[in-house]
Amino acid sequence: MPNDRARNAYLVNAVTSAPPERLLTMLYDALVNNVAAAEEAMERHDFYTLNQRLLKAQDIVLELRGTLKPELWEGGPALLAIYNYVYRLLVRGNVHKDAGALSEARKLLEPLQSAWHQAADIVAAERAGVAAGAAVVAAAGSGSVAETATGGVVGDEAGAPRARATALSVSA
Blockwise average pLDDT, block size 10, the chain, 172 residues: 70 71 95 98 98 98 96 96 98 98 98 96 88 57 40 38 46 50
- Cα 117-122-128 angle, rounded to 5 deg: 120
Q: Say which CATH number the domain at 152 has.
A: 1.20.120.340
Q: What is the total count of domains within the chain?
A: 1
Distance CA 29, CA 31 (A): 5
Give pLDDT, residue 72: 95
In the 8-state DSSP scheme, what is residue 156? -
The radius of gyration of the chain from alpha carbons, rounded to an integer in Å, stands at 19
Burial (Cβ within 10 Å: 0-12, 13-18, ≥19) of residue 117:
middle
Q: Residue 165: name the closest of 13, 33, 37 by CA.
A: 13
Domain with 149 in it? 2-170
Distance CA 153, CA 160 (A): 17
> For the whole model, what pTM was predicted?
0.72
